[in-house]
Amino acid sequence: MANTVIGSSIVIDGEISGDEPLTILGTVKGKVSMAENVTIESGATVEADVEGQTVIISGKLTGNVNAREKLELRPESKMVGNAKAPRIVVADGASFKGNVDMDV
């Protein structure tokens, strides 16, 4: 099973890139650029521009998102930044500040 998990007590300052699903439970600053799905779990803090297939946010994200398929803001999530994706779902309870570009 190819998979990357950044654990809750891990801090990465830099760049993560690759071609497999990425789950973040810890802290990432810099840039995230994946060809697969990116999941930012509850409790995670991400200060980075995020690129992925489907991007699911349950934690905190400061930065721009570019999702090729879908962006999902789950309840309790907090996002500040611009979102670009063909499909965007914002759940009840999510907080978001920024521009949305659905390419319409």
Burial of 62 from C-beta contacts in 10 A (0-12 / 13-18 / 19+):
middle
Q: For residues 47 and 101, which CB has a smaller minimum distance to other proteins in the complex? A: 47
Token pair belonging to 60: 């905190």
Least distance (Å) between residue 6 CB and other proteins: 6
Q: For residues 53 and 82, which CB has a smaller minimum distance to other proteins in the complex? A: 53
Least distance (Å) between residue 79 CB and other proteins: 22
Interface ranges with other proteins (CB under 8 A): 2-20, 22, 25-26, 30, 34
Q: For residues 5 and 98, which CB has a smaller minimum distance to other proteins in the complex? A: 5
Least distance (Å) between residue 67 CB and other proteins: 18
CB 90 within 8 A of CB 74: no
